[in-house]
Amino acid sequence: MSNQTMGDKELIDDSISSQKQIESNYSTFANECVNPSLRTDFLNILKEEHDIQADLFTEMQKRGWYQTKAADQNEVAQAKQKYSTML
């Protein structure tokens, strides 16, 4: 039997993956809920779960474990133009 443990990077990465699944579930629950009060509760929980995921993402970025590139401004402008016609 191997005695391997997960490091901080693997733990946070796994937590982010778990948060995405949790968020998906709460989104479905809120969308399919007919009781307005319960729907509001699900939406509040969903926001809290999004906040947790954002905190985990920020922590990974601070540690240099999740690098993102700056958005190309031409691509941003093209996307804005493309999707503004859908409104």
Residue 45 has pLDDT above 90, yes or no: yes
HEC sequence for 40-81: HHHHHHHHHHHHHHHHHHHHHHHCCCCCCCCCCHHHHHHHHH
Domain boundaries, the chain: 8-84
pLDDT tens digits, 47-68: 999 999 999 999 999 999 988 8
pLDDT tens digits, 19-35: 999 999 999 999 999 99
Q: SS3 breakdown of the chain: % helix, strand, coil, rounded to 5?
A: 75, 0, 25
Cα–Cα distance measured from residue 15 to residue 52, given in angstroms and rounded to the nearest whole number: 10
pTM of the predicted structure, to 2 decimals: 0.73
